[in-house]
Structure 1
Amino acid sequence: MKRLLSALILVMVAVQVYAQNAAVYGTVQSSSDNTALPGANVVLIKATDASKLATVSGPDGKFRFESVGTGQYTVEINYIGFEKYNRSIQVQGTALNLGQLALKDGSTSIKEVQIIGRAPLGEQKGDTTQFNAKAFKTAPDASAEELVTKMPGVTIQDGKVQAQGEDVKQVMIDGKRYTGEDVSSAMRNISADMVESVQVFDAPSDRAAFSGFDDGNRIKTLNFVTKQSKKQGYVGKVSAGYGTDERYMVGAAVNYFNNNQRITVTGLTNNINMFDFSVGETPGGSMRGRRGGFGRSTPSGITKTDNFGINYNDMWGKKVEVSANYNYNQREITNNRYTFRDYVNNDTTYVENSINRSKDDAHRLNFRLQYNINENNRLLITPSITLQQNNDLTTRFANTFAGDNTLTTSNNSTSADATSLSVNNNILYSHRFGDSGRILTANFSTSYGASDSDTYQLQDTRNLDNEERNVNKDQYFKQDQNNLSWSGNLDYSEKLGENSRLQLEYGISNQINDADRRTFDLMEDSGEYTGFNPSLSNTFESNYLSQSIGPTYQYRTDKVSMQVGARYQYATLDSESEFPVADPIKRNFSNILPSAEYEYKFSRSKNLRISLRTNTDVPSVSQLQEVLDISNPLQLKTGNPELDQAYQNRINIRYRNFSPETNRVFFAGLFGTITQNYIGNSVYTNGFVPVDLPEGYELQPGARFTRPVNLDGYWNVRSFVNYGQPLNFISSNFNMFGSVGFTRIPGEINGVINYANTTNFGGGLNISSNISEKVDFNISTNSNYNIVSNTTSGNPNNNYFTQNTSLRYNWIMWKGLVYRTEMSHQYNSGLSEGVDKSYLLWNMSIGKKVFKNQKGEVSISVNDLLKQNVSIERSISSDYVEDVQSTVLQRFFMLTFSYNINKFKSGAAPEEQDRRGGWEGRRN
């Protein structure tokens, strides 16, 4: 290892190039009011060979090029609504600050075009797709979430907003991260009329942004660039409603904007399954289409929620950017579930009816501080803390069957109280050695978690063939768990020439876990839980230490971007248990973790990206802890302290094309994962188990014993294609998408390997109106056909088909009279008997705008007009297919009053800092 490190250092020193390269930077702004112009396309054209470097200005209008060679250049800037900017410059080997580059307003020259034609949807800028918000008409009180779902390539799948086939996991406003856990809530707290443009891109991790080297941890991100006239003021909404069946809702949300400073305060109390409140709430609390119905899965259970949250973003001076989020949430859930499980390789089935009552109290605080010390030094600190309490009461009635014959019945009641604390922090520092191209990045993370729980369980299991095997237990479980982990990374990168760099990375991490589970039986003589049961107790400690080192080479031009690297990883896993027997185990792991990425830009609007990443996953404490879990007597489980780490390979291929001339969008992607040493399940039936069960416990007829094991052969491959374009003849936008996927999950059944194979074919289309602000509709349909097979002989195949067709329609009819309706039809075929096959969810409201500027509204609404709403979920495992039907909120009527708050000051100042990328300017 020392020789390898020395060789790498010598290589970097030997190939160092002292070429006369320099940074070129500046700020793009409007000449009329000096406001920043974010998202402007900036191009450097070399006079001698017409070669180009391109980037995009940040939310503050700033742009930067690194490593610009000596010579004569032309700066060319394009921005929608402004005249093209051109300027000749001379680069002479030192940093060149171009200052403020003012663009003239082009509205006068394009005014006629704007009246006659259609506003352009947007454009593709390298890996960033930028949409023009003016091209998408929404209702006056629409949220940014409703705006983006009209845009090509943006869909709603399984209750989540997806862009280009991937879940959106981060929301930014003017380039600053919205600190919080729920991206949908962030989008609903921005009104659509505030948005100038929407950028869709894969944001690098903080570490990659600081170092300039991609670590593969990209986050699908939406950045909302707000209008200059909406940067000072406030917008909000308050609503209160009461309905039949004592349903109620009171909520408020207020957003305050003062250029760099943004404060959002929300509050909510309700019992109609609303989890948060935002500016984008639809008047009439029953219109919950975005959480259930309108292309989304229906939340299960009846939920009462009390919620308070505050989000804060600001610049402290010119160098410090801060954001913070605090949220308190109290949630009470009542849920009755029916479960039907069809097992592989035998004729047994499992049927369960359960009643669950739970209450959660949670405090969450996230903080982010970025200090731009100077041009060469940056510091980022991101702490977070979560405190949570949970009270849970579950009554379970379960049966196993062989055909029509009942084998075993179980009545099980569990009461649990748990408290958990989680504290995390990350410190990231980056130093750039002037204009030399050298960058040093250091990262240190810590995480601490502690939890304790008290569980009381009453079990009555009856064997219908042999009463002597009946089990009746009354027990108390005490479990304490502490987790401490830390990690550090040191990255050093060196410029090798005008277009290439080399980075050397060293990383170290340590995970320490301590879990103590004690079981006590109820003693009849004293009536107390004092009978210690060592066979169901376990004290477990584990220590996982990992180190890695390796180089990464990067090559970039205006057309091609390439990156290849490899890390050598050495890890040790030490574990030791005290109960039920003392058993120390120590294992070592050695792995080579290669990575590669290639991107080719055919033009400004077309690009292809291919990436390959590898990583390892260490087993969790629950997977390692060998203690019998009898929470469900017919589904016994235990851990396996001999588990090895899993080795995962991921490949992603993406192609994007956005034609600004035709406003057509095309996206295609292929995403694949292959895992060796996959942590799957080894299942045993028919009374046999591979370990000794405690006295008084045995596998009942039809019951299962599950233990995690390492297995090879896990596959998950998915392709996604999306095409969108405007339909001018009906003033609407059309979006069509399709997907093909294959998943293979390995498992073991009675010692025989089984592969559960699922092939999925999906497709759908969406038409969203772009007619006017008074008429807004969205029609979508999405179908999925799943072919399910198992390799074990004699097993059942469970093919199934699902289709969801939705309609959302808003109509401002006459003098502030508003009609809203949402319809969602769910069709299911191939599910288990006893599970509803299809349903139609229909929500409706009619309201009247009141007060000056129609800021108020009184509405009457109905949720689930036809009283057909259900919640159905299907899951595929290596040894069974399971269908679950849960309690849902059904029909009720509600009278609601809502009031909109909206006041802005025009002429706001521009944003100060860009947080999208690192020091390496984007080349598009």
Structure 2
Amino acid sequence: MKRLFTTLLMLVAVLQAFAQATTVTGVVQSNSDKTPLPGANVVLTRTSDAAKSVTATDGEGRFRFDRVAQGQYTLEINYIGFENFTRNFQVAGNPVNLGQLMLRDAATGLQEVQIIGRAPLGEQKGDTAQFNAKAFKTAPDASAEELVTKMPGVTVENGRVQAQGEDVQQVMIDGKRYVGEDVNSAIRNLSADMVESVQVFDAQSDRAAFSGFDDGNRVKTLNFVTRKDKREGYMGKASAGYGTDERYMLGAVVNYFNGDRRLTVTGLTNNINMFDFSIGETPGGGMRGRRGWGGGSPNGVINTNTLGLNYNDIWGKRIQVSGNYNYSNRDVINNQYRFRDFVNSDTTYTENSLNQELTDAHRFNFRLQYNINENNRLLVRPSLTVQRNESLTGRNASNILNAETLTNSLNSDNSETNSINFGNNILYSHRFGNSGRILTAEFDTRYNTSNGEGYQLENTSNFLNPERDVTRNQFIDSERNNFSWSGNLDYSQRLGENSRLQLEYNISNRTNDSDRRTFDMVEGEGYNSFNMPLSNTFTSDYVAQRFGPSYQYRTDKASFQLNARYQLATLRGESEFPQQQPLKRDFNNVLPSAEYEYKFSQSKNIRVNFSTSTREPSVEQLQNVLNISNPLQPRIGNPALEQEYENRLFMRFRTFNAETNRVFFMGLFGTMTQDYITNSIYTRDVPFDLPEDYSYRPGARFSRPENLDGYWSVRTFFNYGQPLNFISTNFNLNGSVGYSRTPGMIDEELNYANNTNFRLGVNLSSNISEKVDFNISTTGSYNMVDNTLRTTQNNDFYTHSTNLRLNTIFWKGLVYRTELNHQYNGGLSAGVDKSYVLWNMSLGKKIFKNQQGEVSLSVNDLLKQNVSIQRNVAADYIEDVQSTVLQRYFMVTFTYNLRKFISGSAPDMNENRGPGNWGGRPGGR
């Protein structure tokens, strides 16, 4: 009885302590202009036992500590470029709002930093790496992209900006999201001299930020904190150029800044392969300008007309909005040569093709966040795309055996498609006062409709049996409608000062309706002969329910989270023709996930994440209809497909030494998939029925999707960076090792394609002065490809890329720019160019007051060697593809820079905009 009484007393004491626990909130701002300071490090220390709690401010400079017991506390705030802030206060039981906490500018000025020889590079604040823009010197007209690529761990791979080995998927400016499809545009449309600091972190999903419960979904994010004297005014650039071979370019971009309101307008018309125009554009549309959506130098010769608008603002005190509209009209002409070597035979496939595609698209994205009050928040994100595509493909393909042609096929495909895509996501969150309970509801809808018409012509010569030559002239009418919706309900409850429990229920439904009808040409009657074997009407309906608990435990040093989900799913489908065939699949899965993070110090941590997911087969994979758009590579669907089950492992370690400015990180990615959907290839007899009037093309390889186990891949990478003060240069060493194992079936025999990759790269970027800016990088990649079915087809190949970029301003405003790239390809197929040198350069003269104008003469691909080569590795073949690229031309360009800021003026942002991150850990930082 005594023990029971003692236990009851302890329980009452704990409950009383919880009841007396409260919250501590505040807003961190700059003392000089009242602007918020996102990403500031906030430490709360209890005086009695020195117990610490740590968080970081969100995009509005807000922070929040929950479950704070009564007592005396000390609050410390650190932010680069500002003096440290300290305040003592008492917690007596009621919520404590510390209000606006003003940080003073650091007393150490730029001249004092220069005496030391170098501005501090930055610091690590928990999950956030923050870099000081003053430590990286760039040219006067450089973009933010050129600034960040000088920073440790930030690189450009195939035109995509990567940070810490991952693609950057989200850009923020002063904590506000830049909404749009191409995040690289946001980076290129911000001037480098506007940036005070750059933060690199893994942002949580909107749902995690609203619920306060980390769901493990992260996106690599760059947040640009702008200088306070650059937040009101406008800046921009306009360029016009004309060159040889009737090459032209006319583009402009204008950025308007007025406190919370930011407006960017861009426009471009050109035929030199530029997809967008930006602040940091190279005169004449050099290598840095010729990048497609999502990066990479685009293949082909491309005419582009585009208009873009990006808007960010705060309406009233509680509504944050951002939106993006883009119109693009693009005409692409691309010739390709393709050589494919098959695993299981001596047959090879060659193809010469001419491809022309015209795209006309309107894209709209919008984001509205309404902080209703202290306990309620609403987020609405609609999107709309209206697009028209016209494409023409002419193909001359051959199957060859021992230097003798088996089949030659001449065919063309001319089609037009109109599509509309609409989506909307609504997220609502309610917090039950200071109880630690949060309810989050999410509803998502997606609708897509697509209508197309196409003509296919074929003339195939059968050299083994000329009597079986094939001539085909068909019209194809297709219509597809897809609708999906999903609802999610989360309820989370704090169990104590460091732990939280969440219950989740999710239901989703995806409906697809596809109707494809083929008609043969009848002489004198037109396309009026319905071809049922090559037609298909198919509907599918996928319903899934997922539910289960999640537990989270978090301290200053470590955090742990465990999620368990049980999923019930049903896939139903029905085909009307070529034959009626019902389909039903039931799936039951357990979907566990876990995450662990440990902070050795404020600048050194490790994170491990494990997750699982499923993926149902697509409509195209399920449709049991023969597709002979490429007569030598026919394919057919498989209604018996099961869904994939994927396991993913992610591990990352990183450290940053603020004293030596050395940064090091390494990571590991691993994936293993059960019932992996791959291709089963048939070169002889096929286990499915073919149309009676179908004529076999010698050497043709039928492809049908199948479920196979055994797929897995793993990749590890590292990056080491530090400044080399003796030559005023930043040094980066990066590398990776990867391995993938892809299963496939070839004539009922199992084959594993194993691909091992080793990559090592070195990068040097200048930090000398604003008048000398260079970047030198060299990267080598060695690949080993082997197949278990036929080892004689194993292949090793090596690629090496060396790049030099130099911008220098010398005598009386003369500007010289050069970009030199050497590419070596070893071990590729015969007939494919193995190496080339791409050399672009320009010579310009600054004119007008403050050198706002420039006239330049540029040459692209001076040596006329530019080519595009890509190697693809699949389960049953290895192929090399060489594509058309834009080659040498000369261009005269006039450029004018617009720039006007109200120095020292900044908006009064001392407003109550609603709560920050409710979970006490904003933005994944």
Tell me if both proteins adopt one fold, taking TM over 0.5 as the criterion.
yes
1:574 aligned onto 2:585: no
1:817 aligned onto 2:801: no
From 624, 627, 633, the equivalent of 1:635 is: 633
1:713 aligned onto 2:705: no
The letter of the residue matching 2:555 is T
1:357–1:394 CA contact under 8 A, matched in 2: yes
Separation of aligned partners in 1, 2:110 and 2:271? 51
Separation of aligned partners in 1, 2:533 and 2:554? 61
Instruction: State the 1:658 CA deviation.
Output: 0.8
Instruction: State the 1:696 CA deviation.
Output: 2.5
What is the aligned partner in structure 1 of residue 544 from structure 2? 546
Write the deviation string for residues 619-660 of structure 1: whole angstroms up to 9, x where unpaired.
Answer: 111111111111000000111111111000111001110111
Separation of aligned partners in 2, 1:482 and 1:408? 37
Write the deviation string for residues 888-922 of structure 1: whole angstroms up to 9, x where unpaired.
Answer: 00000000000000111122125566999554235
Separation of aligned partners in 2, 1:811 and 1:876? 42
1:451/1:916 CA distance change after superposition, 3 Å: farther
What is the aligned partner in structure 2 of residue 677 from structure 1? 675
1:342 aligned onto 2:341: yes
1:155–1:162 CA contact under 8 A, matched in 2: yes
The letter of the residue matching 2:624 is E
What is the aligned partner in structure 2 of residue 245 from structure 1? 245
What is the aligned partner in structure 1 of residue 855 from structure 2? 858
Q: How does 1:101-500 map to 2 (within 5 A)?
A: 101-107=101-107, 112-282=112-282, 284-289=283-288, 291=290, 297-500=296-499
1:756–1:877 CA contact under 8 A, matched in 2: yes
Between Structure 1 and Structure 2, how many residues are aligned?
907
1:58 aligned onto 2:55: no
The letter of the residue matching 1:823 is L
What secondary structure, in the 3-state scheme, does the structure 1 residue paired with 2:533 have?
helix
Write the deviation string for residues 203-257 of structure 1: whole angstroms up to 9, x where unpaired.
Answer: 1111111112222221111111111111111110000000000000000100101
Separation of aligned partners in 2, 1:629 and 1:409? 18
1:736 aligned onto 2:763: no
2:64–2:918 CA contact under 8 A, matched in 1: no
1:804–1:826 CA contact under 8 A, matched in 2: yes
Separation of aligned partners in 2, 1:550 and 1:16? 30
Separation of aligned partners in 1, 2:62 and 2:649? 34
Separation of aligned partners in 2, 1:621 and 1:383? 25
Separation of aligned partners in 2, 1:755 and 1:581? 34
Separation of aligned partners in 2, 1:17 and 1:624? 59
The letter of the residue matching 1:764 is G
Q: How does 1:495-894 map to 2 (within 5 A)?
A: 495-526=494-525, 528-686=526-684, 688-894=685-891
Instruction: State the 1:42 CA deviation.
Output: 1.4
Instruction: State the 1:59 CA deviation.
Output: 3.9
Unaligned stretches of 5+ residues in structure 1: 1-13
What is the aligned partner in structure 1 of residue 7 from structure 2? none
What secondary structure, in the 3-state scheme, does the structure 2 residue paired with 1:849 have?
strand
What secondary structure, in the 3-state scheme, does the structure 1 residue paired with 2:812 have?
coil
Separation of aligned partners in 2, 1:213 and 1:631? 49
What is the aligned partner in structure 2 of residue 84 from structure 1? 84
With normalisation by structure 2, the TM-score equals: 0.96
Write the deviation string for residues 479-521 of structure 1: whole angstroms up to 9, x where unpaired.
Answer: 1000000000000001100100000000000000000000000
What secondary structure, in the 3-state scheme, does the structure 2 residue paired with 1:107 have?
coil
1:585/1:37 CA distance change after superposition, 3 Å: closer
Separation of aligned partners in 2, 1:142 and 1:561? 40
1:122–1:131 CA contact under 8 A, matched in 2: yes
Instruction: State the 1:72 CA deviation.
Output: 1.4
1:27–1:101 CA contact under 8 A, matched in 2: yes
What is the aligned partner in structure 1 of residue 6 from structure 2? none
The letter of the residue matching 1:844 is M
Separation of aligned partners in 1, 2:307 and 2:916? 29
The letter of the residue matching 2:689 is D
Instruction: State the 1:297 CA deviation.
Output: 4.8
What secondary structure, in the 3-state scheme, does the structure 2 residue paired with 1:484 have?
strand
Separation of aligned partners in 1, 2:571 and 2:41? 50
Once the two structures are overlaid, the 10-residue window that deviates more, 771-780 or 158-167, is 158-167
The letter of the residue matching 2:800 is Q
The letter of the residue matching 2:748 is G
Q: Percent identity?
A: 65
Separation of aligned partners in 2, 1:909 and 1:452? 49
Separation of aligned partners in 2, 1:637 and 1:696? 16
Separation of aligned partners in 1, 2:298 and 2:705? 30
Q: How does 1:26-45 map to 2 (within 5 A)?
A: 26-45=26-45
Q: How does 1:896-915 map to 2 (within 5 A)?
A: 896-906=893-903, 907-909=905-907, 911=909
Separation of aligned partners in 2, 1:910 and 1:891? 52
Write the deviation string for residues 654-690 of structure 1: whole angstroms up to 9, x where unpaired.
Answer: 111011111000001001111101110010003x212
1:186/1:729 CA distance change after superposition, 3 Å: same
Instruction: State the 1:16 CA deviation.
Output: 12
What secondary structure, in the 3-state scheme, does the structure 2 residue paired with 1:193 have?
helix
Separation of aligned partners in 2, 1:516 and 1:33? 61
1:654/1:916 CA distance change after superposition, 3 Å: farther
Separation of aligned partners in 2, 1:495 and 1:17? 14
What secondary structure, in the 3-state scheme, does the structure 1 residue paired with 2:793 have?
coil
1:563/1:132 CA distance change after superposition, 3 Å: same
What secondary structure, in the 3-state scheme, does the structure 1 residue paired with 2:648 have?
strand
Separation of aligned partners in 2, 1:638 and 1:611? 38
Unaligned stretches of 5+ residues in structure 2: 1-13
1:637/1:15 CA distance change after superposition, 3 Å: farther
What secondary structure, in the 3-state scheme, does the structure 1 residue paired with 2:348 have?
strand
1:488/1:296 CA distance change after superposition, 3 Å: closer
Instruction: State the 1:111 CA deviation.
Output: 5.5
The letter of the residue matching 1:477 is I
Separation of aligned partners in 2, 1:714 and 1:631? 29
Once the two structures are overlaid, the 10-residue window that deviates more, 905-914 or 138-147, is 905-914
Separation of aligned partners in 2, 1:759 and 1:274? 34
2:824–2:834 CA contact under 8 A, matched in 1: yes
Instruction: State the 1:559 CA deviation.
Output: 0.4
The letter of the residue matching 1:62 is R
The letter of the residue matching 1:546 is A
Instruction: State the 1:292 CA deviation.
Output: 6.7
Instruction: State the 1:345 CA deviation.
Output: 1.3
Once the two structures are overlaid, the 10-residue window that deviates more, 531-540 or 638-647, is 638-647
2:63–2:917 CA contact under 8 A, matched in 1: no
Separation of aligned partners in 2, 1:916 and 1:129? 21
Instruction: State the 1:870 CA deviation.
Output: 0.2
What secondary structure, in the 3-state scheme, does the structure 2 residue paired with 1:498 have?
coil
Instruction: State the 1:132 CA deviation.
Output: 0.6
Separation of aligned partners in 2, 1:525 and 1:916? 72
